[in-house]
Amino acid sequence: MKKCTKIGLGILVGILAILLAGCLYLNSLMPIVTGYAAKNLASAVFVSGRDAQDVQDLDLHFSLIQFTRNRVDKDAKTVTSRFLWSKSVAVYREGYGVTLVRGQKPAQLQAQAFPLPPMDPIPERLEQGDSALCAALSPIGEALVDGHAYNGTPFAFVVLHKGKIVAERYRDGMGPDTRLLSWSMAKSFTNALVGLMVKDGMVDIHAPLDIPEWQHDGRKAITLNHLMQMQSGLQWNENYGNRSDVNLMLHREQDMGRFTQDKPLEHEPGTYWYYSSGSTNLVMRYLRGKFADDKAFLTYLRERLFTPLGIWNPCFEPDMTGTPVGSSYLYVTARDYARFGQLFLDDGCIAGERILPEGWVDYTTTPASASEGKYGAFFWLNRSLACPDAPEDMYSCQGHDGQEIYIVPSKDLVVVVLGYSPKPDRVIDFNALLKDIIETL
């Protein structure tokens, strides 16, 4: 009898231990669950101007995120998301976009923002292309956005051929003025910012970073080039489905660049390729450190990058330190993304004026040594023929859930697809889409 009692007690203790471990793990996920819901719902409502219920039904309808209870306060410009015992609040600030609040009250974060002067509207520079080609490509855009082909239902689709619009289609309720999320396409904009600062003599991509905390270990050899090619050697976990580094950084940390900076070295810099959103936020933090204050940095970003591109209403959302989240949180229009692609297609020039340094596009599209031909510097490459029916010289900006800018020099082509393509249920067949566009051309 005593033996049976001991066995039963042991089983009970084991069950309790499993339950406790499960609760602790669930508790560690809570900031990610509620933080994702609050941040993305707030940005969609206050930046993109979308209907909150539509966002919840589409963008937030997966995993534990779908069970959050969300409240949009349009007067306070906040979104509060709750799940079980956890709560997260995201705050919208005019000119800045949305920031997830951590360690402060929303009012404290709102009080920190200095007013950004509104940018004057810039006349549309993109012209319509050949009418016959527009008519030929129109069925492709219709089939893609309406969900009749290519296995997706994106928000926006724009094609430039020879610098002119030859296809453009939007989901109902959206249009050329709708600012949409970049996700990791923001990394490529960070690449351009580095290029501008190289051109202005402010940074050297091949010089070791002067980060004091790195000067006593192997990290002191890391350069901007290593970070941009995803070969820094820093420890990182980019798994989006669990309590990974990328999820903790985006949904828990106040200073996202510092979070990455504090990671230990796992590989010799330049010898191992691993995709890391943290690398981009560390680059953005480093660039920010070259300016006296946030105002000077944001003014530079506007005047040197966005204004020449014709982007007059950008929203590059910051973390709580005020540094734009270079890995993920840019909101501009589909035409703006197309203009950005055209900048690289035109070798860093706009209307004949050089914006990026001579040779910068060649540098950007040179494969990182350990990437097996699939990655350059904050751009993806098709040298590995990830899209086998597209030309090998194609390169691209790629973002989570189907955000893409494809740049095809040999076809004088830029293709932009934006929207929600939840994986693995509705993965857009980009290879088939590109194949049909190129064959139509």
pLDDT digits (tens, 9 = 90+) for 393-435: 999 999 988 899 999 999 999 999 998 766 556 689 999 999 9
> Comparing C-alpha atoms, which of 157, 184, 186, 228 is closest to residue 400?
184
Confidence at residue 18, expressed as pLDDT on a 0 to 100 scale: 65
Contact 195, 360 (CB under 8 A): yes
For 221-252, the pLDDT digits (tens) are 999 999 999 999 999 999 987 789 999 999 99
pLDDT at 97 over 70: yes
For 379-391, the pLDDT digits (tens) are 999 998 999 999 9
208 - beta bridge partners? 223
pLDDT at 14 over 90: no
Average of pLDDT values for 121-149?
93
Confidence at residue 116, expressed as pLDDT on a 0 to 100 scale: 82
Buried b (16+ CB within 10 A) or exposed e, 402-433: bbbbbbbbebebbbbbbbbbeeeebebebbeb
Greatest Cα pair distance in the chain: 91
As a whole number of angstroms, the distance between CA 59 and CA 403 comes to 13
Contact 262, 300 (CB under 8 A): no
Long-range Cβ pairs for the range 59-67 (8 Å, 24+): 59/420, 60/36, 61/422, 62/422, 63/33, 63/241, 64/29, 64/33, 65/33, 65/36, 65/37
pLDDT at 25 over 80: no
Pairing assessment for the beta strands 413-418 and 156-161 based on DSSP bridges = antiparallel
- The dihedral of CA 414, 419, 420, 425: what is its sign? negative
For 26-58, the pLDDT digits (tens) are 667 889 999 999 999 999 999 999 999 999 999
> Comparing C-alpha atoms, which of 14, 16, 78, 11 is closest to residue 41?
78
Dihedrals phi, psi of 25, to nearest 5 degrees = -70, -45
H or E element: which one contains 416? strand 413-418
Average of pLDDT values for 302-321?
95
pLDDT at 304 over 80: yes
Long-range Cβ pairs for the range 129-138 (8 Å, 24+): 129/160, 129/161, 129/162, 129/164, 129/165, 129/166, 130/161, 130/164, 130/166, 133/161, 133/166, 133/440, 133/441, 134/165, 134/166, 134/167, 136/440, 137/166, 137/167, 137/437, 137/440, 138/167, 138/169
Question: Which position has the higher pLDDT, 6 or 144?
Answer: 144
Contact 140, 437 (CB under 8 A): yes
Confidence at residue 437, expressed as pLDDT on a 0 to 100 scale: 98
Mean pLDDT of the chain: 93
Our measurement of the distance from residue 423's CA atom to the centroid of its chain's CA atoms, rounded to an integer in Å, reads 16
Contact 234, 280 (CB under 8 A): no
Question: Which position has the higher pLDDT, 6 or 246?
Answer: 246
pLDDT at 327 over 70: yes
3-state secondary structure of 88: strand
222: tokens are 């890391």
At the topology level of CATH, where does 136-440 sit? Beta-lactamase (3.40.710)
Average of pLDDT values for 171-181?
96
Contact 317, 223 (CB under 8 A): no
130: tokens are 């050949």
Residues 6 or more apart in contact with residue 178 via CB below 8 angstroms: 48, 49, 155, 156, 170, 333, 334
DSSP code, position 324 = B
H or E element: which one contains 49? none
Where in the chain do CATH 3.40.710.10 domains reside?
A: 136-440
